C-alpha cells in the first residue's frame, strides 16, 4: 500500500468509512456480544477485571501508536495521523500507575491474544503501513464514540472519583467528538486506493475486530481462572443500576476497551 495518496472527495456510498462499516457489521456484533463486553455494559466490572483490561489496552496502543509514529509520513497514514488529539498511551500509563503504583511496568499481565494483536500491528507497520489505518480507525473512533459512557460506568462500578484511573476515556484535545469523527472520516476517505488496496484494508478492519474478540475471550478466561468472572452473584444487585442500551457500544479500546480493551468496538 506504499503508493497511496490522498485528495479531497465528496462523501458517497463508496467511501472507505462506509465500506468498513458494512464489511465489519457481523464481526462488530460478535465483538459487542462477547461475555466480557456484555458484563461491562451492565456495570459488572471489578477492579481486577479493569486492571487486566488496562494492561492489554496498554500493550495494544503502545504497538499501534509506535507504528503510527514511525510511519507518520506514509501517504495513507499521514491524513489520519492525529497524535495530539487521539494518542492514548500516556493516559493509559496514568491509569496503570494509579492502580499499580510507580512500578506498574513490572506488573503488566496480558493473555496470548494480546501478544498476537501487537505482533500483527508490528508486522503491518513494517511491511504494509497503510493497513494501520484500519486499526486506527476502528479503535480511535470506538474510543471517541463510547468513551464518556464507559468512563462513567467504570467510575460507578469501582467507586472512582474525577479522572483518577479512567484517563483512558478522556480526550482533552477533542472539543467535539462528533465533529472530530466527521473530520477523521473525511480525511480517511481522501486516501486514494487501488481496488486491491481497498480490499486489503477492508479485510484488515475485519482482522482488527477478530483480534479484539480473541483478546476479550482470553481475558474472560483469565478472570474465570482467578475467580473474578463478572458473572458472580455478588454483582447481580449492582447490575440493576445500569441499563444495556445501544449507546453503550465500544472500543478495543478499549477499547477497554473497553479497552479500547478500546475498546475497539465502535459506533460510527
Binding site residues for heme b, as ranges?
21, 28, 137, 185
Pairwise CA distance, residues 64 & 14, whole Å = 27
> How is 134-182 classified by DSSP, letter by letter?
HHHHHHHHHHHHHHHHHHHHHHHHHT--TTTT-GGG--TT-S-HHHHHH
Q: In 42-111, where does DSSP find H-type helix?
A: 47-70, 83-86, 89-100
**H-helix or E-strand containing 191?**
strand 191-192
Pairwise CA distance, residues 265 & 250, whole Å = 4
Nearest to 63 by CA among 105, 140, 147, 120: 120
Nearest to 117 by CA among 218, 17, 24: 218
Residue pair 129/67 in contact by the 8 Å Cβ criterion: yes
Whole-Å CA distances, 43 to 126, 133, 258, 260: 39, 31, 12, 16
Pairwise CA distance, residues 142 & 235, whole Å = 26
Residue pair 218/226 in contact by the 8 Å Cβ criterion: no
Amino acid at each position: 500500500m506504499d503508493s497511496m495518496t490522498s485528495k479531497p472527495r465528496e462523501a458517497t456510498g463508496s467511501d472507505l468509512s462506509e465500506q468498513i462499516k458494512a464489511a465489519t457489521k457481523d464481526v462488530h456484533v460478535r465483538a459487542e456480544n462477547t461475555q466480557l463486553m456484555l458484563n461491562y455494559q451492565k456495570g459488572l466490572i471489578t477492579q481486577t477485571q479493569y486492571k487486566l483490561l488496562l494492561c492489554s489496552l496498554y500493550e495494544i496502543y503502545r504497538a499501534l501508536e509506535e507504528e503510527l509514529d514511525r510511519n507518520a509520513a506514509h501517504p495513507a497514514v499521514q491524513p489520519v495521523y492525529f497524535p495530539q488529539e487521539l494518542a492514548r498511551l500516556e493516559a493509559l500509563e496514568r491509569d496503570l500507575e494509579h492502580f499499580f503504583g510507580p512500578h506498574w511496568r513490572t506488573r503488566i499481565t496480558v493473555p496470548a491474544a494480546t501478544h498476537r494483536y501487537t505482533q500483527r500491528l508490528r508486522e503491518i507497520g513494517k511491511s504494509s503501513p497503510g493497513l494501520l489505518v484500519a486499526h486506527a480507525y476502528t479503535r480511535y473512533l470506538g474510543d471517541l464514540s463510547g468513551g464518556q459512557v464507559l468512563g462513567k460506568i467504570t467510575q460507578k462500578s469501582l467507586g472512582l472519583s474525577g479522572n483518577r484511573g479512567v484517563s483512558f476515556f478522556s480526550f482533552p484535545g477533542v472539543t467535539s467528538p462528533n465533529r472530530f469523527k466527521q473530520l477523521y472520516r473525511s480525511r480517511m476517505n481522501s486516501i486514494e486506493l487501488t481496488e486491491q488496496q481497498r480490499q486489503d484494508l477492508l479485510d484488515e478492519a475485519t482482522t482488527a475486530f477478530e483480534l479484539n474478540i480473541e483478546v476479550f475471550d482470553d481475558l474472560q478466561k483469565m478472570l474465570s481462572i482467578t475467580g473474578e468472572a463478572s458473572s458472580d452473584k455478588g454483582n447481580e444487585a449492582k447490575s440493576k443500576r445500569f441499563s444495556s442500551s445501544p449507546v453503550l457500544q465500544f472500543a478495543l479500546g478499549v477499547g477497554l476497551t473497553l479497552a479500547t480493551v478500546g475498546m475497539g468496538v465502535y459506533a460510527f
